[in-house]
Amino acid sequence: MISILLIAIAALFFTGIINKVKAKIGGRKMPSVFQPVYDLIRLFKKGAVYSNTTSIIFKIAPSVYLASVFTAMLFIPIGNLHSLLSFHGDFVFFTYLLGIGKFMMIIAAMDTGSGFEGMGANREALYSLLVEPAFFILAGSVALFTNNISFQELFLHLHMSSNLSIIIGIAAIYVLMYIAIVENSRLPVDDPKTHLELTMVHEVMVLDNSGFDLALIHLASWFKFSIYGAIISNFLIQVQWPVYVQILSFFFIQAVFAFTIGILESFRARNKMEKNPQWIIMLSAIAIVVFLTALIITNKIILH
C-alpha cells in the first residue's frame, strides 16, 4: 500500500518539474511545481461537453483509461516495499492493463468521427505496437537474469554484482525512459505543446475531451510517468537499505527522471514523422542486446 501512495505523490510533482526545467532553460519565468495540480483541480470543477456524434464509448473511455493505469500501479513494488498485487507473470498482465486504457482512448477518438482524431489514434496505435516488443524483451531479460517472473520477486532478486549486470541495468534504464516518453507522447516522438493538428499524436486524440474527462486523462498520464519512474528506481534501489533511505531514493530518482525529460525536451528537436517508427524499433534492438547479455550471464550462451 505504501508503494501506491509514493507513486501517486510522485505523479503530482512530475509534470511540474518538467515544466520548471524547460522554463528555466528557455529563459522564461518559472511556474510553480504545483501549477499542473492547480490546472487539474480547475478542470475537475468543470463539466464535460459531448458532441452529438459521440456514443457511450467516448464518455466512459477517460474513466476506463484512468482505472486501467491505476490498477497497473498496484503491481509495482518499490525496493522491498511490496506491491498490493503480485503473481507469476504479472508484468504481462501489467502491460495489457495499460493496453486496455490505450485501446479505449483510441476507439474513443475514432468515435468522434473526426478525421484529425482518427489520424492521431492511428499514430498512437502504431507507436504503442512498435514499443511493446521492447518492454517484453526487456522484462523477459530481467526475468531470465533473476530467474523470477513477477515484478515483486524480480526486483527483490535483482543484484548488480558484475560488469555485465551493470550493463543490463544501464541499458534497461535507458530503454524504460524512452518507453515512458513514447507511451506518454512526449518529445522527440510527439510535442505536447504543438498546435498543428497534422503533426499531433496524443493531443489531437483528446481534442474533443473537456473538463472532468480531460482531467482524468491528464491524471492517468501523470500516473504512467510515475509508474515507469518507479520501475526505473527498482534498478537502483537496494533492498538491504533502510526503508527511509529507499523512500528518499525513490523520490530523488523520480525527480532526476523528470529533470532528465525536461532537459531532453529543451535541447532535442522533434523527430520527423516518418522517422519515428525506426527510432522506436531501435529500443527493441537495445532490448535484444540486454537479452543476449542476460543469456551470457546465465550461461545460456557460452563464449569461447
How many C-beta neighbours within 10 Å does residue 133 have?
16
Q: Grid coordinates representing 77?
A: 513494488
How many C-beta neighbours within 10 Å does residue 141 have?
25
**Which residue matches cell numbers 537479452?**
291
**Which residue matches cell numbers 550462451?**
301
Average pLDDT, the chain: 89
DSSP state of 275: G
Q: Grid coordinates representing 83?
A: 506491491
Asked whether 290 and 168 are in contact (CB, 8 A), the reply is yes
- The C-alpha atoms of residue 263 and residue 177 are separated, in whole angstroms, by 13
Note the pLDDT of residue 92. Answer: 92
Residue 280: CA count within 13 A, CB half-sphere: 29
Q: Grid coordinates representing 222?
A: 501523470
Note the pLDDT of residue 162. Answer: 66
Q: Which residue would you say has higher pLDDT here, 273 or 11?
A: 11
Residues above pLDDT 70, as percent of the chain: 96
Least confident of 32-36, 213-217, 219-223, 299-303: 299-303
Q: Find out whether the peptide bond into 188 is cis, omega within 30 degrees of 0.
A: yes
Closest CA to 169 of 116, 177, 74: 177
Asked whether 232 and 176 are in contact (CB, 8 A), the reply is yes
pLDDT digits over 121-168, tens only? Answer: 999 999 999 999 999 999 999 888 888 888 988 888 887 666 777 888
Average pLDDT of the segment spanning 255-267: 93
Note the pLDDT of residue 144. Answer: 87
Q: Grid coordinates representing 181?
A: 516518453
Cα-to-chain-centroid distance, residue 129: 15
